[in-house]
Amino acid sequence: MDDIQHQFVKNILAGTQTSMRECGSAFAPSNIALCKYWGKRDAALNLPVNSSLSISLGDLGTRTEIRPSDADAVYLNGEPVALDDAFAVRTLAFLDLFRSEFGNASFVVRTENNIPTAAGLASSASGFAALVLALADLGGWGLGGRMLSMLARLGSGSASRSLFEGFVQWYMGTCPDGSDSFAEPVSKPWPEFRIGILELSSARKPVGSRDGMNRTVETSELYKNWPAQATADLETIRGALFARDFQTLGKTAERNALSMHATMMAAWPPLIYLQPETIEQIHKVQRVRADGLEVYLTIDAGPNIKLLFLEDNEQAVASAFPGLQTINPFG
């Protein structure tokens, strides 16, 4: 598996020259999928079963700084992280793919998240995207977005989308070597588009996305329907984006997220990321919508809810959902 990833990285970097600087740093936004990525067709190259489409969260995300050093060290939000902690293990395993480019260096990595880590707010997405951009900065690689996106994909699938602002599509690709599975911006900015984060729990989720999706693919009967549904949903969402048809976009994104959760619940052991508070808020979204407020929801592999609405309804949504953190992704 490592050899396949190493070779993939080598192929991507083949046309570039690494000229090591003292320090590399970068920011990458977090993103929320409107059509979800759920399931891998190739674990080593992190190739998805279906294409996905997301919106990046503007200035919410991860800032990462990386320096070559004599020994590895990882800091998260200013605090040193034990090297056997899951976060450090995953970060260092990713860096292993790049060490030979930098004279087999060790690294000091400082990561600052302005979103809760692993609370279903896609911090691994912005994390690996920022890490790839920081490495590219450190090495002076002049790589384009597609190439950087494919490198970030090896760290985390959703990270392939966090290289870009606004609406982003990750094309699943068809090549077995993974060379056509990258993300790219799609559609123009939609300045009225708003996302509301209802943070219901910041606890670490018991089963991460990676294990969760593998379990779903292996054991859920309902998963059989997922690839076709995701493909259809993505087309509908793309069409709605180009037509600025918010209702169709919201409906499709909400149904896509709840369908993904249905596939998870049908896995064994069942995967139930939704908490009692989550269910309560799902019902509330349905109630306020029945009362005429145009608001939709999406949920990732965690208990938190993200609301989708337009600027005109910002006040109304904020008063219906106290504690909501509203994000203007194009602000």
Q: Which residues bind ligand DP6 (CB under 6 A)?
A: 33, 36-38, 46, 52, 122, 124-125, 156-158, 209-210, 300-301
User: Is the C-alpha dihedral spanning 69, 70, 76, 78 positive or negative?
Assistant: negative
Our CB check for ligand DP6 shows the closer of 259 and 281 to be 259
Q: Report residue 140 CA to chain centroid gap.
A: 25
Cβ pair 303, 293 in contact under 8 A = no
- The least distance separating ligand DP6 from the CB of residue 295, rounded to whole angstroms, comes to 21
Q: Are 45 and 7 in contact (CB under 8 A)?
A: no
What contacts 111, CB < 8 A, 6 or more positions away?
62, 63, 64, 74, 75, 76, 77, 91, 127, 130, 131
User: Are the CB atoms for 137 and 24 separated by under 8 Å?
Assistant: yes
Instruction: Report the nearest approach of ligand DP6 to the CB of residue 291 (Å).
Output: 29
Q: Tell me, what amino acid is at 16?
A: T
Q: Which is nearer to ligand DP6, 139 or 157 (CB)?
A: 157
CB-wise, 145 or 208, nearer to ligand DP6?
Answer: 208
CB-based burial of residue 41 (10 Å sphere; 0-12 exposed, 13-18 middle, 19+ buried)?
Answer: middle
Residue with token string 């504690």: 323
Q: Least distance (Å) from ligand DP6 to the CB of residue 157? A: 3
When the beta carbons of 109 and 152 are compared against ligand DP6, the nearer one is 152
Compute the least distance from the CB of residue 76 to ligand DP6, in Å.
17
Return the number of the residue (31 or 281) whose C-beta is nearest ligand DP6: 31
CB 137 → ligand DP6: shortest distance, Å? 23
Closer CB to ligand DP6, 108 or 207, in the complex: 207
Residue 34 Cβ vs ligand DP6, minimum distance, rounded to whole Å: 9
